[in-house]
Structure 1
Amino acid sequence: MAAGGFSRLPNGTVVVALNLPHGSAGVRVLVHARNRARALTRLRNLGLRAVYLRGNTAPPTPDEITAVLHHPDGLVWRTAPLDGTSASGLWRPIRSLLRPAALPGR
């Protein structure tokens, strides 16, 4: 389960924002999709199986919506403190978050 929210855009699509725990900090993930169910399915297909959106407590900001709409994959992330303060850093493609750690000696 994750804190987050969504915003419906004028063209009918949605941007879903989720705060997920990751290591000692957390990450803020943004997904652009046709509807909320498809956005969560996109994340589950990437291996984030236990992702649910309950309520709309932390919807995406206008700056976050702009960031995800300008990314070709429509799926980005950045670090976010778990204490609920604002996220910091650059938006990155989701591939860089899910990439397996490099094995030693390779």
Structure 2
Amino acid sequence: MSGVPAGAVPGDGAVRVLVLAANRARALTRLRNLGMRAIYLRGNAAPPTPDEITAVLHHPDGLIWRTSPVCPAATTPELWHPIRALLRRPPTVRV
């Protein structure tokens, strides 16, 4: 995934992003404006659950993410992260 720091997303790199927007086009525009242009964006792979809707409505940025579960029923769901945590650049090492 372009623009995502190495190690930010474990596994295959698939994440579920929830965006608070008036419609799908505006949601995708918000993501593209954050630099997610090279990433394949799929809208509504699965409709949001009531818990997910509550999470995105109560987040100040209206943008949250978590890794896509391999087997949703196998483990407890990961907590949602602010989009800034996904876009954070790794620290550069000065020599």
Give the TM-score range, shorter chain: 0.7 to 0.9
CA drift at 1:57: 4.1
Contact kept, 8 Å, 2:28 with 2:41, in 1: the verdict is yes
Structure 1 moving runs of 4+ over 6 Å: none
- Which residue pairs with 2:33 in the alignment? 45
CA drift at 1:103: 1.5
What letter is aligned with 2:78? G
- Which residue pairs with 2:90 in the alignment? 101
Pick aligned residue for 1:32 from 5, 8, 20: 20
Contact kept, 8 Å, 1:79 with 1:88, in 2: the verdict is no
Contact kept, 8 Å, 1:80 with 1:88, in 2: the verdict is no
- Which residue pairs with 2:5 in the alignment? none
Q: Which has the higher contact order (CA 8 A, sep 6+)?
A: 2
CA drift at 1:78: 1.1
Q: Following the alignment from structure 1 to structure 2, what is the Cα–Cα distance between the partners of residues 69 and 78?
A: 16
- CA RMSD of the aligned region, Å? 2.2
**Larger fraction in strand:** 1
| Percent of residue pairs bearing the same amino acid type | 62
Q: Following the alignment from structure 2 to structure 1, what is the Cα–Cα distance between the partners of residues 50 and 61?
A: 18
Contact kept, 8 Å, 1:78 with 1:89, in 2: the verdict is yes
Unaligned runs of 5+ in 2: 1-8
Between Structure 1 and Structure 2, how many residues are aligned?
Answer: 82
What letter is aligned with 1:88? P
Unaligned runs of 5+ in 1: 1-21
